[in-house]
Chains A and B, each alone.
Chain A
Amino acid sequence: MNVAFFFEVLIGGLLAGVMYSLVALGFVLIYKASGVFNFAQGAMVFLAALTFVSILKMGINFWLALIITLGVMVVLGMSIEKVVLRPLINQPPITLFMATIGLTFVLEGLSQLVWGSQPHGLELGIPDVPMEWLSQKWNINVSQFEVFAAVVAGAMVAGLALFFQYTRIGRALRAVADDHQAAMAVGIPLKHIWAIVWAVAGFVALVAGLMWGARNGVQFALTFIALKALPVLILGGFESVPGAIIGGLIIGASEKLAEVYIGPMVGGGIESWFAYVIALLFLLVRPQGLFGEKIIDRV
């Protein structure tokens, strides 16, 4: 058993996990503030990436394109909140979830209608080559790009955690997540808050879109990344920002390790379902996830 190889797989898995966490963060934000499980997050990631790349292709400068795309995402987020979510305010969570499934289809169709459906490459200037000193010193190959993504994700998580904890708006968001009525009763403007949340989620989607797009190319398959975020959320809880990171790390690492070490024994391709089965087993033991709150049924 090659120890160096083990660490290579482990670190690769952890970094992949960080990428999942980026997407999961978007879910957590929206769920935290409005109690809606936004299945369309994956489609938003796709739309963000596709918009950005297409604007770039029109010859516009990188940073300007970034700002324009951010603007698009913010407007999109706020429109979704107004058109889809507000009419469904008092419906049970299942209904809202199914509405976001419908939204996914709309966004997917819209993205491709507007920007076309060929895959695009995305260059962020950071090569996908192994980090030299790790590779030479310990014979561990870890991609520079993945480390960069991890740093970006880490910075975002730290920023978001601070935002929720210490700013006035962050506090208001937490209040809204806990109890809409009570929040309104103390004067928190619900609609503004939701608009802000969806805007931030749009921003997170953009960052995730950029990272994933640079890694895998911007193509339709990106929308399925959202599905992988589900096991991450189950492990980490739907409402916890640190949980999204830890959940992502666990899922990413165990998925890669399983594929490499257990995969060959059963014919490979385990990655398609391993994360979900892990989440399933986890739910059986702890239905509320690592960081979630215990559900008590009162009669």
Chain B
Amino acid sequence: MNQEQRVGEVILSVESVSLAFGGVKALQEVSFDVREHEIRAIIGPNGAGKSSMLNVINGVYHPQQGKIRLRADGAWREFRDMDSHEAASLGIARTFQNIALFKGMTVLDNVLTGRNLKMRVSFLEQAIWIGRAKREELEHRRAVEEIIDFLEIQHIRKTPVGKLPYGLQKRVELARALAAEPTLLLLDEPMAGMNLEEKQDMCRFVLDVNDHYGTTIVLIEHDMGVVMDISDRVVVLDYGRKIADGTPDEVRANQAVIDAYLGVAH
């Protein structure tokens, strides 16, 4: 299936977003869009505002200016002040640069927390553990086991997350994000700190997620090889401003990008 067939209409539109922390301007009038089913990369030097951009999309930071438009459940929603809890309920899930797993719980429990928005049973029913409560818990366990199989982490499902090596923790975090069955998945440097083998595995998983579940993916990544290989379109940020936007080939050849980030074209 080539790109034109797979990628759909625009489902996320970032319009003129500006974000400042006190005197520090993290983002200045950044605009771009994301199409359904595509893999969109955000790249740029350190401090360019990439993580801040993701944080704005999923409601952790609120921009002073501009707005985000998201197509959820068929309707367009426009917001600037959405909080992260609402973003999660609209189908946005994400992973974090510094792993944000719950270190006191097992892998299985961590991934199960990703399903929390789908759990309906009240705490009283959970306390008594009959009927509905039991059924719902087992149903979610089944759904989560599918994701655990998909990401090949069955052998560590009962291990406390704090004991796992870095690469596996990143995979568990991806599993937790997937457990929410998101329409939009934000990945903040999913391959940071990994060796070549781990990166290849993670690339394969990201592509599989996009392929198998059709999830739209926005990812921040420093490894140019990865970006060029797996993304459909790329946004380049530098000092909070967008300096390029297009396919990987277009971006690679862009002089401004080369000056700011890539160095001599290779």
Contact = CB atoms under 8 A, between A and B. Distances in A.
Do A and B touch directly, given a CB cutoff of 8 Å in the complex? yes
Q: Which 5 A-B pairs have the closest CB atoms?
A: A299-B96, A299-B60, A299-B100, A299-B55, A299-B98
A31 B96 CA distance: 31
B102 to A, nearest CB: 14
Contacts of B96: 299
Interface of A: prevailing SS: loop
Contacts of B98: 299
B208 to A, nearest CB: 26
A299 B55 CA distance: 9
Contacts of B60: 299
Interface in A253-299: 299
A297 to B, nearest CB: 9
A299 B58 CA distance: 12
A103 to B, nearest CB: 26
5 contacts: A299-B55, A299-B60, A299-B96, A299-B98, A299-B100
Interface of B: prevailing SS: loop
A299 B60 CA distance: 9
Contacts of A299: 55, 60, 96, 98, 100
Interface of B: 55, 60, 96, 98, 100
A299 B96 CA distance: 7
A71 B96 CA distance: 51
Nearest to B61: A299
B151 to A, nearest CB: 22
A218 to B, nearest CB: 44
Nearest to B96: A299
Nearest to B94: A299
Interface in A230-245: none
B186 to A, nearest CB: 12
Contacts of B100: 299
B113 to A, nearest CB: 16
A89 to B, nearest CB: 18
A274 B96 CA distance: 43
A299 B84 CA distance: 12
Nearest to A297: B60
Contacts of B55: 299
Nearest to A298: B98
A296 to B, nearest CB: 9
A299 B173 CA distance: 14
A299 B98 CA distance: 7
B171 to A, nearest CB: 19
A260 B253 CA distance: 78
A238 B98 CA distance: 28
A29 B100 CA distance: 33
B133 to A, nearest CB: 32
B21 to A, nearest CB: 9
Nearest to B84: A299
B217 to A, nearest CB: 19
Nearest to B55: A299
A176 to B, nearest CB: 25
Nearest to B97: A299
A299 B189 CA distance: 13
A236 B96 CA distance: 35
A299 B59 CA distance: 12
Interface in A183-222: none
Nearest to B21: A296
B114 to A, nearest CB: 16
